[in-house]
Structures are given as structure tokens and as C-alpha cells.
Amino acid sequence: RTDEAEVVVFCVPSYACQRRTTLENHNTILTDALSLLAENAELSDQEGRGVAFRRAAAVLKALPRAVTGVTQLRGLPCLGEHSLRVIKDILETGASAEVESTKQSERYKALKVLTGVFGVGPKTAERWIRERIHTLQQLQDSGHTLNRAQQAGLQHYDDLNQPVAKAEADAIAEVVERAVVSVSPGAQVTLTGGFRRGKPTGHDVDFLITHPEEGREDGLMSKVVSWLESQGFLLYQKTTRNSYLESKDGPARPASNMDRFERCFSIFKLHEDEGRGTGHPGTPTGNTAAANTGSLGDSDSRSQIRGGEQRLLVSGEDGGPEETKPAGHRPWRAVRVDLVVSPISQFAFALLGWTGSKLFERELRRWAGHEKSMSLSSHALYDNKQSRYLRATSEQEIFAHLGLEFVPPSERNA
């Protein structure tokens, strides 16, 4: 076996968007370790280190079988000194001391718990940790004023940290479709994000909404949200309007993955029987989302919900009537849902941009910029040499413009 392993040398192209990465990962032990270091770096405001670990993990995800020795990795791209050391430690001793100590560290554990609250990003978590707030109980006891998102995040902490199953995503898709068709019969809804890539679970459910007639998507989001709210489907929502046209720095900003579509970050109330029975209506409950009072100025609102091993109890005073029955059976659960509205002219770019994975997207933009002198965003593709936008009505056309072989969504799991 060892002899055989010695002769197996892997070879992969250096950009993740040149590779086909399915969900079949033969190196989960190694990629979990590198992903944890990536996550720790990202939570610690070390984006560069985070990307380096993510790229290293992605290379291992693309390998056709398990790595058994470091000699097999010679010549592989994106494996820096640090990542190689971690891989070597695991292959030779079964574990990486750095990964294990990170995992056990109070700081990492606190960052995970706090950023596990929807509406709490790394910067806010960091600030709280400096004030010795490490747990949700300590957060509640601290008397800090939480913004509306964070209050909802705390209230639904357990639900939102429990992975969303595909069947639940499908049930929510039915509701979103009903909402969209009710307010604009010709409009179309597409499931994006991890579920479009074939993942069996996700941390949220992502949808892209468009209308085949340009301009008819205008005003769609607020109507959809009102419909959902009136039917009692929303526990929380925050809608951000489209800022694409009024922006000064041009449509394609390759360095950023934030786009400027009209979007809605929401928390759905998913009923147990929703989408299962036939002809089941939207179950109006009267429990509509709280009034949109705006946040208390925390700009750090990117949520970082991850399956947490630390399941703290948040029930009690702030939990609302449902949360006061700790283990009692509730006929619904809270699910994070992202809605995005795109004009049809930008749909292909939006679809590509919202399908992910995040690393695949980042690598597409890096490829476009560094190898093709183009700027790719979720809105458009700009050719810097020709000084013009390149149109596309499908993802296939965008890959072709970029000089890349088409990679289907199920193979974008870098």
C-alpha cells in the first residue's frame, strides 16, 4: 500500500474555477482541519490567512482519492508551508496540535458561540469577548442593547444553528413561489446557494427572483415581503434596496463579494406540515414579524451561523411565549432565508454569483482579473482590454467569455 501511495502524485489546476469539485470529498479529515483554521482566521480579522487555508482545503477536496503521504502533494498549487505542516502532522500523527488547541481555545469557542447569533459578525463578537462575554448567558446578563437582527438571532438561536434539510428548503421554495406568483404572475424563482450545488443541508435557503420582462422586477421585493408577512411566514426581515444604479464605482467590483441587488435577509417560520400535504394553505397565525424599526447601528450584520457543538439555552424572559416551553413540541421551526431580486438582463451573473461556493466565486473573480483582465461581479462582466461589458444570458456564456470550461453547479463545491 505504501509503495503504491508513493507513486500516486496528484495534479490539479491552480484556480478552483478550473476544477470540478463535487460533494464527494476523499480527504475530509484534512479539509475539516484546514477549514477550521480558515474559519478561525476569518473570525480574527485575518482574511488573507483565511483565504490561504480555504484554497489549500479546496485543492484537497478536488483530489480523486485520499492522500496518504505528503510526497503525493508535490507540485500541487495553493499548499503553503503552513497548510503543508498541518497536513503532515495529521498524516503522520493523526492530529494537528495547532488545530486541536485552536478548537479547545476559549477565544475560538466564544467566537463560534457569539457569531452563531444571527446579526453578530466577527467584529461585534471580538468586542464582546474583550468585555469577557463568552457565552449567550453572559451576553444576556451584560445588558448590551441588541439590534433587531440580534434579538431575533438570540430568540431563534437553536433553530438557526440546526442545519436546514433539503426537504425543508423545498417546502420554503413552495411558499416563496406562491408569494411571488401571487404578486407578479410572470415572475420566476430559482433556488440558489448550496442547495443548487446539490448539498443535502445548508445554513440557510437562498432564492433569486426575476421577471422575464426587464423592469417588471421593480418593486417586486416589497410586494413579496408584504405577502409573506401578511400570511405569517416571517419572524424577521430586513430588506435592502438596490444600490447598483446609483453607485459611483461602476458595476463590477472584483474585490468585493457584496453585490447591490435588492435583497431580503429573513427568518422564516416554517410549519411542520408546510409543503408536505397537498393544498395546505399558508397557515396564517397572526404572529407576523415585529415592526421594522431599523437596527441600532451595528453595521456588522453579516450572520455567521454554523452548526455549533455548543448548544446553549437561550429560553426565558426574552424568548417569547414559544421559547418558554424548553423541550416542548413546537409545530414550526425558524429558518434563515435570503431573497434576492435581479433584473433579467443581469440574471445569469446573479445566478452564477449566488450559487457559490464562496471560494469558487472568489476564484472566478480572481481568474477574470488576473488571467483575463476582466472584472466579474454578480451584475456584469467587464472586459478591460476591449473597454466594454460582455453580455450573457446563461452561465454557460459567462464561462465561455472567461475562457473556462463550463462547471455545473454540482461541481462548484470548492
The bridge status of strand 332-341 relative to strand 205-210 is parallel
Does 361 sit near ligand TTP (CB under 6 A)? yes
Does 356 sit near ligand TTP (CB under 6 A)? yes
Given the complex with ligand TTP, which of 38 and 183 has the nearer CB atom?
38
Given the complex with ligand TTP, which of 134 and 197 has the nearer CB atom?
197
Cα four-point dihedral sign 233, 163, 200, 377: positive
Around 405, how many Cα atoms within 13 Å sit in the side-chain half-sphere? Answer: 9
Which residue from 127, 103, 105 is spatially nearest to 114, judged by alpha carbons? 127
- DSSP conformational letter for 291: P
Phi, psi of 348 (to 5 degrees): -60, -40
Given the complex with Mn ion, which of 50 and 353 has the nearer CB atom?
353
Is there a catalytic annotation at residue 206?
A: yes
Q: Which of 204, 273, 318, 383 is catalytic?
A: 204
Does 383 sit near Mn ion (CB under 5 A)? no
Is there a catalytic annotation at residue 338?
A: yes
Number of residues forming the site for Mn ion (CB under 5 A): 7
Does 83 sit near ligand TTP (CB under 6 A)? no
Does 24 sit near Mn ion (CB under 5 A)? yes
Q: How far is the CB of 264 from Mn ion (least distance, A)?
A: 11
50, 116, 119, 193: which one binds Mn ion (CB under 5 A): 193
Q: Evaluate whether 211 touches 217 at the Cβ level (below 8 Å).
A: yes
Establish whether 338 is an annotated binding residue. yes
- Alpha-carbon distance of 291 to 379, in angstroms, equals 31
Q: How far is the CB of 206 from ligand TTP (least distance, A)?
A: 5
Partner from Mn ion, ligand TTP, none binding residue 301, C-beta < 5-8 Å depending on class: none
Q: Identify residue 320 by its one-letter amino acid code.
A: G
Partner from Mn ion, ligand TTP, none binding residue 356, C-beta < 5-8 Å depending on class: ligand TTP
Query: Which DSSP string corresponds to 12-32?
Result: --SSGGGS-B-S--TTHHHHH
| Residues between 323 and 352 with contacts to Mn ion, criterion CB under 5 A | 338
- Alpha-carbon distance of 187 to 342, in angstroms, equals 11
| Residues between 378 and 407 with contacts to ligand TTP, criterion CB under 6 A | 378
258, 290, 296, 313: which one binds ligand TTP (CB under 6 A): 258
Number of residues forming the site for ligand TTP (CB under 6 A): 17
- Alpha-carbon distance of 196 to 174, in angstroms, equals 15
- Alpha-carbon distance of 324 to 41, in angstroms, equals 37
Q: Identify residue 156 by its one-letter amino acid code.
A: H
User: Quick count: other Cβ atoms within 10 Å of Cβ 282?
Assistant: 17
Q: Is residue 186 packed enough to be buried (19+ CB in 10 Å), middle (13-18) or exposed (0-12)?
A: exposed
Phi, psi of 405 (to 5 degrees): -70, 145
Partner from Mn ion, ligand TTP, none binding residue 24, C-beta < 5-8 Å depending on class: Mn ion
Does 168 sit near Mn ion (CB under 5 A)? no
- Alpha-carbon distance of 322 to 365, in angstroms, equals 44
- DSSP conformational letter for 412: B
Q: How far is the CB of 317 from ligand TTP (least distance, A)?
A: 31
Q: Which of 170, 206, 298, 318 is catalytic?
A: 206
| Residues between 38 and 77 with contacts to Mn ion, criterion CB under 5 A | none
- Alpha-carbon distance of 259 to 379, in angstroms, equals 8
21, 242, 357, 375: which one binds ligand TTP (CB under 6 A): 357
Q: How far is the CB of 192 from ligand TTP (least distance, A)?
A: 7
Site string for ligand TTP, 177-206 (x = CB under 6 A): ----------------xx----x--xxx-x
Given the complex with ligand TTP, which of 183 and 305 has the nearer CB atom?
305
Phi, psi of 337 (to 5 degrees): -130, 130
Q: Which of 89, 158, 300, 338 is catalytic?
A: 338
The label of the residue with cell 435583497 reads 263
Does 11 sit near Mn ion (CB under 5 A)? no
**DSSP helix/strand/coil, 272:** coil
Is there a catalytic annotation at residue 204?
A: yes
Contact set with Mn ion (CB under 5 A): 24, 193-194, 202, 204, 206, 338
Q: Annotated binding site for Mg(2+), which residues?
A: 204, 206, 338
Contact set with ligand TTP (CB under 6 A): 193-194, 199, 202-204, 206, 257-259, 353-354, 356-358, 361, 378
Q: Annotated binding site, which residues?
A: 204, 206, 338
**So which residues are the catalytic ones?**
204, 206, 338
